Amino acid sequence: MRKIIFTMTISMIAGLVFAQAPVAQTPVEQTPVIMVQEQPPDVSVSADVGVYSAYVWRGLVLNGNMVAQPSVTAAYGPFSLNVWGNFDLIDPSHNNTEVDYTAAYTLPLNTEAVAVDVGFIYYTFPGGNDTDATEEIFVKTTFNNIILTPVASLYYDIDEVNGWYGNLAVSQSVEISDAMTAKIGGSIGCGTRNYNSYMFGEHKNAVNDYNIYVSAEYALTEKLSVGALLQYTRLDSEVANEIYDSDALIWGGINLSYKFL
């Protein structure tokens, strides 16, 4: 950035010098060329860890015990990589240990009103059977600059499931102070026949889950922040069964986030 400012400053000074030079000494009028270096893509690295009363994913209570969920994200311009994990704090031998790897890319659209991300997720389960590992591709569309922020996401499992899961979420953020922001939101998810057959044993397209939540984040410093989440999750009666720990649950927890870059 300093190089860019320095180059632009020198060029502007040169322009002023040429502009003020006597006409007799400048038989051919010349326009100074300003050399501007291209701004390098933004680089960011952040990490967070949350402690929650349960592990809930797409309406499924996968672990009813208290869990820790650490995450690290690195981004370079429109590209990002994330590693996320879930670990049982009550019973470390619980077979619901999970580590997921996500690669995403934000499409270069000529609008700030809509953001579209595409990506790939690799799910692994170190505490269980390696054959349970699976892969998904996804597209997520976020609509900005309106009262509510809708986010439409679509996932397709290309490995174990070969089915689609879709989710429509809306949220509203409220700035409480310069350091604190609160958010309220909800979502609804649905699955195709193949997805629901694999997850629930139900051979039909159906609405899967409903979620309502409130959250808050407080910036302790420019880089460190603490957050809290309280959420209600319920599976639809069309797919609810005894495979998972609960069909409806109020759960939540706290998390710490730190921005390295």
What are the domain boundaries of the chain?
A: 1-40, 43-259
Q: DSSP label at 167? A: E
> Which parts of 107-163 are beta strand (E)?
114-124, 134-143, 149-157
Its pTM stands at 0.82
d(CA 162, CA 157): 5
d(CA 121, CA 82): 9
Q: Which two tokens stand for residue 187?
A: 């979502």
CB 128 within 8 A of CB 97: yes
Tens of pLDDT, residue by residue, the chain (261 residues): 444 433 444 344 344 334 434 444 444 445 555 555 555 668 999 999 999 999 999 999 988 899 999 999 999 999 999 999 999 999 877 667 899 999 999 999 988 899 999 999 999 988 766 667 999 999 999 998 778 999 999 999 999 899 999 999 999 999 999 999 999 999 999 999 999 999 998 889 999 999 999 999 999 999 999 999 999 999 998 888 777 767 899 999 999 999 999
What is the rounded radius of gyration, in angstroms, for the C-alpha atoms of the chain?
Answer: 25
Q: DSSP label at 223? A: S
The yes/no answer on whether domain 43-259 falls in CATH 2.40.230.20 is yes
